[in-house]
Chains A and B, each alone.
Chain A
Amino acid sequence: MKPLALLTPAIALEVGLFFIPLVLLGLVSFTLRDSFFFEPKWTLENYADMFTVYAFDFQITFLLVILAAFVDLLFGFPFAYIMTRRIRRFSDVFRAIMLVPLFGELYIAYGFYYLFLPGGPLGFIFELSGVSAVRAMYSMETAVIALAVYTFPFAVYNIGISLQGIDRAIEDSARCLGAGSVETFLKVTLPMSLPGILGAWLVSIGWGLGAFAIPTLMGGAMVSQRMLSVEMYSIALLQLDLGTASAIGVILALIAVIIFYLSLRASRGALV
C-alpha cells in the first residue's frame, strides 16, 4: 500500500485538526452554555434558538453576502471577459493585482474604515452631502462593497475559467453564420458561461459568510445588522455561551459546505 503510506501524514493532519475538532463543535452545540467542560447538560435548545432569537441575524447575513455576490457578478463578469479575451499586454500585472485581496479582509476593512472616518479622505464628501460619515461607515452599502472587494477575485476566477473553457470556434461559427458581435455574445458566450457565473455567485456567498474583520469594523457589527460570524465570536468569547455559538457554527459551516458543493457542481473554478 504505497499510496497510503504517502498519504498518511496528510490524512492524520486533517483528521486530528479538522474532523475531530468539528465533531467536538457538534457535540458542544448540543450542550447548555459552557456546561460541556464541567458536567454536560444535553439540550436541543441551542438549535431551537436559531429559528427564533437568531433568525434575524441569519437573514441579515445572507442579505449582505448575496448583495455582495451580485456586485461581484456585475463587475466581475466584464473583468473576467476582458482578461480572457482582450488583454495581452500587462496581463500579468493585472493578474498580480488580483492576488492582493487574498492578503485578507483585515486590510480591506481598514482601508474602507479609514476612508469613511470623520476627517478621513472621504469624510468631507459625506459631511457636504449631509450624510454623517459615521453612518456611512456603518451602513449596509459600505459593508456590501467591502465584502464584494474581498470576494471579487474568487468570482473572477470562476467566471474566467468557464470563459476560457468555451471553444472559440463556436463563437467564430456564430459570426460566420451572420451573427453580430452583440448577438454572438448574448446567444453563445453568455449562455455557455452561465455555469461559471452561477459558480462564481455561490463562491462569493460562501466566502462572504466567513468574513469577520469587515463586519467587525464596518456595517455588519451594529446590533441591527450584525453578521453571524461577529455574533458567534461575541457569544462564544464574551458571553461564554459555547453551546449557542457552536450551534451557530455548525449551521454556518453546513450552509457554507453546501454552497461550495453546489458551486463545484456548477463549475470547477480555480481554488474552488
Chain B
Amino acid sequence: MRTTKAERATQLASYGYVLAVSVFLLVPLIVSVIRSLTVTLPGGMTTLSIKPYLEIAEYAFWPKVYLSLSISITTILIDTAVGVPAAYALVRYNFLGKRVLFTLLNGVWYVPGICYALSLILAYYFLYKWFLGYWGFIAAYTAGFLLLMLMTCIVAFKYVDPCYEESASCLGAGRLTTFFKVTLPLIGPGVSAGVLLIFVLAFNEFITAFLLNLPTKLMTAPVKVFADITRARATPYIAAEAAVLQLISLAVVIIYLRVVGTKYLRGVVLV
C-alpha cells in the first residue's frame, strides 16, 4: 500500500511530537550530564572535563551509593520472598474478601510519601526502636514497594496457564516441586519486572530516606545529592552525583528492556 503525502505528513508530525515531549522529559537527565561535564577555568572559560566525576569521591559520595545499592538489593530480596507467594495465592485461589485484601495490601501506594514517612518515623520512635538504623530503611521500602512485586507477579501469573501446574502434579510432583520447577521458571520474567521497578524506585527514593537521615545518621545517595544542592547549589560535582545515580538507573532499565522487553511492564507501568 502506498502512503499518501498527507499520511506521511501526519506520521512525521506524530513522531515529531512524541520526540519533543520525550526530550522534555529527559531534560533533567540531559542537564545533569551536561553540567557535570563542564568546568569553569580560573580565567572564566568553560571547558569539557571529567574532573567533577573524580571530585565526587572527595565528597564521600561512593559510600552512599553502596548504601543505596545495598538497601535496594535487600529490599528486592525480601519483597520477592514475600510478594511471589502472595501474588500466587491472589491469582490461583478464590476466597472471601480477596478484593478488599488486595486493596488493603496496596494501600501504602496511595498515601503521599511524606505522610508515610512521618508515620514511620513516629512508629520507629514509639514502637519499633530497633528499626532506627539500616533496617529501618529496609522495613520502610519492603512495605512501601511490595505492591510493585504483587502487581507484576499477578500479571505474570495470569500469562501462565494453570494446566502446566496441573499436569506436573498429575505426573506426581508435589506442590512445592511444582511451584519451584514449573511455576517459578514460567513467571521468572514477571518477577524480574517487579525487581526492576523496586530497584529503580528504592534506589532513588528520597522522602523517607530524607526523614530517616536525622535519627539514623545514615545517608543514602539521593539524600546526599539533595543535601549538596542545598549546601553548594549547582557546582559541577553535584551534577555529576545526580548524573551518576540517573545513569545507573537508566543502565539497569536499558539492560532489562534489552533482555526481557516491555511485555511484563505493560499494564503495570507501560501502555
Contacts and interface: CB of A to CB of B under 8 A. Distances in A.
Given A14-B107, A229-B112, A7 B86 contact: yes
A237 B118 CA distance: 9
Interface in B103-133: 104-105, 107-116, 118-123, 125-127
Interface stretch (B57-65, B87-95, B158-166, B182-190): B87-95
A55 interface: no
B89 A2 contact: yes
Interface string A218-256: 000000000001001100110000100110011011001
Chain A interface mostly = helix
Contact of A10 (B30, B86, B242, B265): B86
Given A111-B27, A256-B111, A14 B143 contact: yes
B31 A212 contact: no
Contact of B234 (A14, A80, A120): A120
Contacts of B111: 18, 22, 253, 256-257
Interface stretch (A125-133, A148-156, A167-175, A183-191): A148-156
Q: Most chain-A CB neighbours within 10 Å: which of B11, B25, B148? A: B25
B25 A100 contact: yes
Contacts of B22: 94, 97-98
A112 B271 CA distance: 27
B82 interface: yes
A173 B104 CA distance: 42
Interface in A104-119: 104-108, 110-115, 117
B254 interface: yes
B93 A21 contact: no
Nearest to B140: A17
Contact of B257 (A17, A24, A86, A92): A92
Contacts of A252: 112, 114-115
A87 B16 CA distance: 11
A138 interface: no
Interface string B210-235: 11001000000010011001100110
Interface string A5-32: 0110111011011111110110010000
Contact of B29 (A24, A111, A209): A111
Nearest to B223: A106
B112 A152 contact: no
B114 A229 contact: yes
A46 to B, nearest CB: 14
Contact of B268 (A110, A253, A271): A271
Contact of B114 (A2, A102, A210, A261): A210
B10 interface: yes
Interface size class of A (residues with CB under 8 A): 35 or more
B26 A100 contact: yes
A95 to B, nearest CB: 5
A253 to B, nearest CB: 4
**Most chain B Cβ neighbours within 10 Å, of A21, A84, A245:** A21
Contacts of A58: none
Given A17-B142, A246-B122, A102 B233 contact: no
A221 to B, nearest CB: 11
Given A18-B108, A245-B118, A102 B211 contact: no
Contacts of B242: 106-107, 110
A10 B82 contact: yes
B105 A10 contact: yes
Contacts of B34: 121
B50 interface: no
Given A9-B86, A271-B109, 20 more contacts: A3-B90, A6-B85, A9-B81, A14-B107, A14-B143, A17-B120, A18-B107, A20-B123, A82-B18, A92-B257, A96-B257, A99-B200, A99-B269, A104-B204, A106-B204, A107-B29, A107-B245, A156-B271, A160-B271, A270-B269
Shortest Cβ-Cβ A-B pairs, 3 listed: A111-B28, A160-B271, A210-B112
10 contacts: A82-B14, A84-B271, A87-B15, A102-B200, A110-B28, A111-B30, A112-B27, A114-B35, A156-B271, A271-B269
